Structure 1
Amino acid sequence: MNRINPGKLLLSKWTAAHPQHREKHFLVTELFRDEEGTVLQVELEAVLTKRSQRMDWQTLKNSDTWKLGWQ
């Protein structure tokens, strides 16, 4: 389980544990917050293909799927 501070996710780097379509390295490009400023979702952009995907930030806590940093 990765320990994450959601407020510091912007521009953080992530590595997919099981890459698909040659997309291994990702960068958090945007944070989506509610009215109180709580982070709800993040937008991840694949470095190689520039494809973006939006997901709940808690998904990044799963160390079986995501690794902090580029490895």
Structure 2
Amino acid sequence: MNPFNPRKLALSKWTACAPVNKEKHFLVTQLICDEVGVPLQVELQAVYSGRAERLDWRELRDDKRWRMGWK
């Protein structure tokens, strides 16, 4: 499990353990929160292609799919 503070995810770097379409390195470009300020989703942008996708921030805790930093 990757331990981190979800409120400090903005502009953090992530590496996918199983790259697809040469997309291995990602940057968190946006943290989507509810009206109270509780984080709900993150927007990840692939460094190689620039493609963006949204996913639940809790998925980044799965160390079988994601690693913190660019490796």
Query: Do the two structures share a fold, i.e. TM-score over 0.5?
Result: yes
Give CA deviations for 1:35-64 in whole Å, capped at 9, x if unaligned: 110110000000000000000000000000
**Cα distance, 1:4 vs. partner?**
1.6
Structure 2 equivalent of residue 8 of structure 1: 8
Structure 1 equivalent of residue 22 of structure 2: 22
**Equivalent residue of 2:7, what SS?**
helix
TM-score normalised according to structure 2 size: 0.99
Q: Extract structure 1 runs of 4+ deviating beyond 4 A.
A: none
Report the count of equivalent residues. Answer: 71
- Structure 1 unaligned regions, length at least 5: none
Structure 2 equivalent of residue 69 of structure 1: 69
- Tell me how far apart the structure 2 counterparts of residues 40 and 50 of structure 1 sit (CA, whole Å): 22
